[in-house]
Amino acid sequence: MKDEVTRDERVANLKGMGCSRKRVEDARFTQGKGNYVDDIKLDGMLFGDFVRTPYAHARIVSINTEEALKVPGVLAVLTAADLEPLGLHWMPTLAGDKQMVLADGKVLFQGQEVAFVVAEDRYAAADGIELVEVEYEELPVIVDPFEALQSDVVLREDLVGEGGTLPDGAHGPRKHHNHIFRWEAGDRDPTAQVIAEAEVVAEESMYYHRTHPCPLETCGCVASMDKVNGKLTLWGTFQAPHAIRTVVSLISGIEEHNIRVISPDIGGGFGNKVGAYPGYVCSVVASIVTGKPVKWIEDRMDNLMTTAFARDYHMTGKIAATREGKITGLQCHVTADHGGFDACADPTKFPAGFMNICTGSYDIPTAYLEVDGVYTNKAPGGVSYRCSFRVTEAVYFIERMIEVLAIELNMDAAELRRINFIKKEQFPYTAALGWEYDSGDYHTAWDKALKAVDYEGLRAEQAQRVADFKAGKTRSLMGIGLSFFTEIVGAGPVKNCDILGLGMFDSCEIRIHPTGSAIARLGTISQGQGHATTFAQILASEIGLPADSITIEEGDTDTAPYGLGTYGSRSTPVAGAATAMAGRKIRAKAQMIAAYLLEVHDNDVEFDVDRFVVKGAPEKFKTMKEIAFAAYNQAIPGIEPGLEAVSYYDPPNMTYPFGAYVCVMDIDVDTGVPDIRRFYALDDCGTRINPMIIEGQVHGGLTEALAVSLGQEIAYDDMGNVKTGTLMDFFLPTAWEVPNYETDHTVTPSPHHPIGAKGVGESPHVGGVPCFSNAVQDAFRPFGNRHTNMPHDHWRIWKTAHDLGLHD
């Protein structure tokens, strides 16, 4: 048969890597045909919901469920006393702490789960909740971590030993009863010495406020215990379904093969859906008790007030430099507010996540980081909201410290960055705090970004604006926000990355069907990232079958290979690598089959797009489609039938995406209203799998960065009441508030990743937050501003102007 199709056309037909292939998921999402947890309806399904405490710190005197049980349709009300015989009134957290499933004698934060009402429908459950009578005895409330470390008030009596002794926590010795851990990285004394002897030192304290990932779909689950065959099926909004299966097995005693965890379509996660929540445990128990499926779905207030928050880091830094601007040392101390339980989702050995990436993109020879985790009367969490384990905090810290140092040196902040960037030839680069950066070309990216926005022109315009302002010609100031970030994603190498002892590898299993199509299953789970689209593209390029002929399936632990799930931008760096490696195993076997069919030696054929060709004789070939058929239907000596492969990928290192962002903002000095005039985002995520999806991820991440920097917060009053528990006060931007984004890129592949990809989903958030914040702060720099804390909402921006005397 003569091949009429050109090679370029064959490449295009695959829709492989580099193609802006339309998202295959969107057909169902845009037509309302998605299948989310709350869409699951089972015969006889019951609904559970929580009685929650209005108090942030109180002793439970009594719980009376009598009236609630009289509500028609209410079947049961579970309390800690009911869970205790099962050993399920407390559960382990991902951070090595334990957390009450239902209030065991006291409550530690507003909204904490006190009782679980199980009813025939959610309306009866809501009525039942109203009638559960809980008597509380209020206790002193602590919402400030610095106060917590001084206070006599003990938040966690369960962690105090006999006679007031303090047993070690999961991460070593504790220095106070409200102290969780101290974690250190780098060299304390040498850093102190460098700072003491430095020509210039800039010092700043900053608070990265508490916020929340706020996915569109809240958390929820459906638990169904089949008492006939002893199998538990648990559908849920899980970012890590296999980890949930293992955890459920460990805490319930149900053997793992009898547990099936399914993550159906998930409406965004952003870290909020990584952890295990009381709702999951209570639903499972309720299903076991009633013998019926039990559904639990958070409402928006539950979600914002109780399931995992993000940040809440009080950071103090010192950065040392020469008078010419060469940075010589960096010191960082963090007081980390973890709330009532330590339920951070970090790799075990990293209780402050990868905060030790806080030397950023700069060649800083000496550094020291110290983090103190503290209990307060706030909700537990501390998850990576669209970032990899505290990287957002780290990048915000260094990108603010750079700006403050620039002020101290009276130097342009863009130039200061350029002087200190790690140079291209220094990679792989080992940072002072331990990480080995895989690849980068920061100078090229920075120059490209500054040129694209005409940085010199912007500075000239800004200077004119300041002059006009001082002359009374305008009440608007102009800020130029700069940010250069390096992410650390793709956790991670099993040798140092595990969660609850589970190694952070990931996996892919491929089955090629006889007619040349395929299904691939992974240990990850998409929450909107478009895995079904992009993983098929990786495979298309690796195995030469069209992406449109490859089904990607995730989220069912009965069918998918074991993996640690999707968060921390790990899907492409880890599962994407597993996909490529599994694809290469397919290709290796296909090569042998092709050689047999072409009657040549294995080494005499080579892969070309969608086929194996005889070297030097491209007219002699077998397509992958033909090879697939032969694999199943032709007896080939020495080769077993079938064409399948599985790969478990333990990454040798993290990947280090980076980027250069510039924001131009006008600020109304009198009202505090910012107007984002321009936002330019250059991302280098290594090899680009689907440019359109990358662009979409950048838009989304930047929008969440805008939210966090300009207003999104979980604020508490002194009594521990959440002041921002609804979307009226919790800032979730709409299209109206979002500027036009300009995206750009450079490509510096990861040298250790099979296809050179680094991951991109979280970069725009990590780099965006300091960029927006720096724009606000830069607008006031000519008037003496050094640092103001986020969120930069109208009144805080106004206050900055006011405090600088700009309203006089």
Nearest one of 454, 474, 377 to 155, comparing CA atoms = 377
Query: Binding of another protein at residue 736 (CB under 8 A)?
Result: yes
Quick one: how far is CA 635 from the chain centroid?
A: 48
In the complex, what is the shortest distance from the CB of residue 524 to another protein, in angstroms, rounded to a whole number? Answer: 32
Rounded Cα distance between 162 and 169, Å, is 15
Q: Based on the shown chain and the rule CB under 8 A, indicate whether residue 54 belongs to the binding site for another protein.
A: no
Q: Which stretch binds another protein (CB under 8 A): 58-66, 459-467, 640-648, 798-806?
A: 798-806
161 touches another protein (CB under 8 A): no
Question: What's the rounded Cα separation, in Å, for the pair 596 and 590?
Answer: 10
Question: Token digits for 221?
Answer: 């689950």
- The one catalytic residue in 245, 697, 762, 771 is 762
Instruction: Please identify which residue in 120, 203, 299, 608 interacts with another protein, judged by CB under 8 A.
Output: 299
The token pair that represents 487 in the structure block: 């992410």
**What string marks each residue from 663 to 702 as x (binds another protein by CB under 8 A) or -?**
-------xxxx-----------------------------
Give the torsion sign (CA, 553, 558, 562, 566).
Answer: positive
Choose which of 729, 742, 744, 803 interacts with another protein (CB under 8 A).
729
Nearest residue (CB) to another protein, 209 versus 318: 209
Residue number, 606 or 737, with CB nearest to another protein? 737
- Choosing from 245, 260, 311, 386, the catalytic residue is 386
C-alpha span between 159 and 91 (Å, rounded): 15
Task: Establish if 301 lies at the interface with another protein (CB under 8 A).
Answer: yes
Among 224, 252, 623, 724, binds another protein (CB under 8 A): 724
- Supply 239's token pair: 């970012």
Using DSSP, state whether 585 is helix, strand or coil: helix
Q: How far is the CB of 131 from another protein (least distance, A)?
A: 11
What is the b/e burial string over 777-794, where b = at least 16 CB atoms within 10 angstroms of the residue's CB? bbbbbbbebeebebbbbe
Q: Which residue from 354, 442, 731, 780 is in contact with another protein, where contact means CB under 8 A?
A: 731
Give the nearer residue to another protein in terms of CB position, either 49 or 408: 49
Only segment of 16-24, 297-305, 516-524, 613-621 that touches another protein (CB under 8 A): 297-305
Does residue 216 belong to the site contacting another protein (CB under 8 A)?
Answer: no
When binding is defined by CB under 8 A, the residue of 289, 715, 804, 806 that contacts another protein is 715
Catalytically annotated residue among 19, 219, 221, 387: 387
Task: State the Cα–Cα distance between residues 171 and 95, nearest whole angstrom.
Answer: 9
Q: Give the nearer residue to another protein in terms of CB position, either 240 or 797.
A: 797
Q: Is 150 a catalytic residue?
A: no
Distance between CA 136 and CA 155 in Å, rounded? 16
Closest CB to another protein among 705 and 760?
Answer: 705
Give SS3 for 252: helix
Q: Does residue 451 belong to the site contacting another protein (CB under 8 A)?
A: no
Quickly tell me which residue has 């640092």 as its tokens.
787
Q: Which one of the spans 98-106, 288-296, 504-512, 797-805 is the region binding another protein (CB under 8 A)?
A: 797-805
Mapping DSSP onto H, E and C, the string for 307-344 reads CCEEEEEEEEEEEEECCCCCEEEEEEEEEEEEECCCCC
Q: Is 221 a catalytic residue?
A: no
Can you tell me which of 733, 739, 751, 782 binds another protein, judged by CB under 8 A? Answer: 733
> Which segments of 166-230 are extended strands (E)?
179-186, 200-211, 220-226
120 binds another protein (CB under 8 A): no
Interface pick for another protein out of 61, 64, 105, 123 (rule CB under 8 A): 123
Residue 269, classed as helix, strand or coil, is coil
Which residue stretch of 179-187, 459-467, 690-698, 789-797 sits at the interface with another protein (rule: CB under 8 A)? 789-797
192 binds another protein (CB under 8 A): no
Q: Is 711 in the site for another protein (CB under 8 A)?
A: yes
Q: How far is CA 194 from CA 324, 332, 420, in A?
A: 16, 14, 17
In the block, tokens 């990584």 appear at 274
**Residue 357 token pair:** 């990436």
Distance of CA 728 to the CA centre of its chain: 25
Q: Is 762 a catalytic residue?
A: yes
The type of residue at 347 is: P
Is 488 within 8 Å of 357 (Cβ atoms)? yes
Q: Which is nearer to another protein, 49 or 346 (CB)?
A: 49
- E strands of 188-297, at which residues? 200-211, 220-226, 231-236, 259-262, 294-297
Nearest approach in angstroms of CB 162 to another protein is 45
d(CA 37, CA 122): 15
Stretch that binds another protein, among 123-131, 350-358, 400-408, 692-700 (CB under 8 A): 123-131
Q: Would residue 387 show up in a list of annotated catalytic residues for this protein?
A: yes
Which of 737, 742, 744, 803 binds another protein (CB under 8 A)? It is 737
Q: Is 793 in the site for another protein (CB under 8 A)?
A: yes
Question: Is 794 a residue that touches another protein (CB under 8 A)?
Answer: yes
130 lies in the site for another protein, by CB under 8 A = yes
Q: Which is nearer to another protein, 261 or 769 (CB)?
A: 769
For residue 271, count other CB atoms closer than 10 A to its CB: 26
Work out the angle between the directed axes of helices 413-420 and 442-452 (0-180°, nearest 10): 160
- Binding residues (CB under 8 A) for another protein: these are 122-123, 126-127, 130, 299-301, 670-673, 711, 715, 723-724, 728-729, 731, 733-734, 736-737, 793-795, 798-799, 802, 807
- The residues annotated with a catalytic role in the active site are 239, 386-387, 762
